[in-house]
Amino acid sequence: MGMTMTQKILAAHAGLDQVTASQLINAKLDMVLGNDITTPVAIKEFEKAGFTDIFDKDKVSIVLDHFSPNKDIKAAQQCKQCRSFARRFDVTNFYDVGTMGIEHALLPEKGLVGPGECIIGADSHTCTYGALNAFSTGVGSTDMCAGMASGECWFKVPSAIKFNIHGKLNPWVSGKDVILHIIGMIGVDGALYKSMEFSGDGLKNLSMDDRLCIANMAIEAGAKNGIFEFDEITEAYVKERVNRPYKTYKADEDAVYDQIIDLDLSTIKSTIAFPHLPENTKTIDEVGEVKIDQIVIGSCTNGRISDMEAAAAVLKGKKIHRDVRAIIIPATQKIWLECVKRGYMDIFIEAGCIVSTPTCGPCLGGYMGILAEGERCVSTTNRNFVGRMGHVDSEVYLASPAIAAASGIMGRIADVKEVM
């Protein structure tokens, strides 16, 4: 019986010739990731268990991105705990204020994750790195603890859904619209504990930023992971960043899938997820009149340079509506600096936006854009659960950077065509 991309990677890291869906395995890890919220819990368990060292100082990454720069005393204490741990064990890939970025944008940018690797992170959106043809998944802090100590983690091998991609995206439609379309189609549990595997001749029309966005939100469909076939676009991306040998994986011709879905990119419209689930989607022509109070453009989903480029293209020469607060968050210091070089910062500020240091901040209702009762936000983040960005009676509408920017100008959810 043939294996999927995910199954091949897991088999290789478990030292097995073959694995099948639902099989329990123990796999060696290439990277263990934590942030300033999840790492302190892992550290507590690490010390409780009596561990005295980490398995490889080059294969642990700690990124202070959620509540950093420190939003309050508790956040400061948690970050201090992470710093102390990183110094104690000489963690190579420790990123603090000044060097940090939003973790799932930073690790690919730094070349810390690569094709064919097995990666866990104590953050549910660790599935992002599947865009690079890696197996990557979110785990709890106790699994992070065990991974840091042993370099291994146990998994139940997932079954898979294959997405056969073809066609080409229309103008102003992006990877965010693709994944919202998919989640709207299969639901938030449509891929429950499955791998979402993307292949087909249409992949050549999806940039690496599109793929990172799509893989990032695989968890919002309930998936264990999302993964893309390795191709020339992947190769070009990792060539500039990954400085170690890697192996690529392609599914066997006779691989078994629970479902195969054909997806024509040319049929996908700008898509918005209404409160309070990512599956509650409407295309831009179905939206109606929805007035808003805030837009957020950034996050591990849409804080990359192409996202900033799309926002700047829409906002250039225009003004944010007087009733709207506009918050732009480039995902890493490198992206922030590139925005300066390209003149995007001038565009954002002249339009009436603020630009934040890299942070997860508002996405999880932490800081830098919390919503009051009854307020609505169009956000390029990945979740819109009740109370996700603030008050339980606030609302978050998930959209692409282009739609968020257009909505900020109009003061309501709006199509790019209305402002261009």
Break the chain into its structural domains and give their ranges: 5-265, 272-418
Give me the pLDDT at residue 408, please: 98
Q: Does this chain's domain 5-265 share its CATH topology with 272-418?
A: yes
Separation between Cα atoms, residue 266 and residue 322, nearest integer Å: 35
Q: Is the peptide bond before 69 cis (omega within 30 degrees of 0)?
A: yes
Amino acid at 309: E
Beta bridge partner(s), residue 327: 296, 354
Are 131 and 211 contacting, i.e. CB atoms less than 8 angstroms apart?
A: yes
Give me the pLDDT at residue 364, please: 83
Torsion-angle region of 64 (φ positive above 0: left; ψ -120 to 50: alpha; else: beta): beta
Domain 272-418 indexed as CATH 3.60.40.10: no
Torsion-angle region of 291 (φ positive above 0: left; ψ -120 to 50: alpha; else: beta): beta
Give me the pLDDT at residue 109, please: 97
Give me the pLDDT at residue 368, please: 86
| Residue 91 CA from chain centroid, whole number | 23
Could you count the other beta carbons within 10 Å of the beta carbon of residue 383?
Answer: 23
Separation between Cα atoms, residue 29 and residue 134, nearest integer Å: 11
Beta bridge partner(s), residue 273: 281, 398
Amino acid at 251: A
Best CATH choice for the domain 5-265 from the list 1.10.10.10, 3.30.70.20, 3.40.50.720, 3.30.499.10: 3.30.499.10
Backbone angles phi, psi at 188, to 5 degrees: -75, -10
Q: What global pTM score does this model have?
A: 0.95
Separation between Cα atoms, residue 39 and residue 93, nearest integer Å: 14
Continuous segment of H or E residues that includes residue 322:
none
Residue 76: which residues within 8 A CB-CB, separation 6 or more? 70
Give me the pLDDT at residue 359, please: 92
CA dihedral (296, 297, 298, 299) in degrees, to 10, reads: 50
For the chain (length 420 residues), average pLDDT per consecutive 10?
96 97 97 97 96 97 92 94 97 95 96 98 97 97 97 97 97 97 96 97 97 97 98 96 96 97 97 96 96 97 97 98 97 97 98 94 86 96 92 96 98 96
Are 298 and 328 contacting, i.e. CB atoms less than 8 angstroms apart?
A: yes
Give me the pLDDT at residue 73, please: 94
Are 9 and 249 contacting, i.e. CB atoms less than 8 angstroms apart?
A: yes
Q: Could you tell me the two tokens for 88?
A: 């104690």
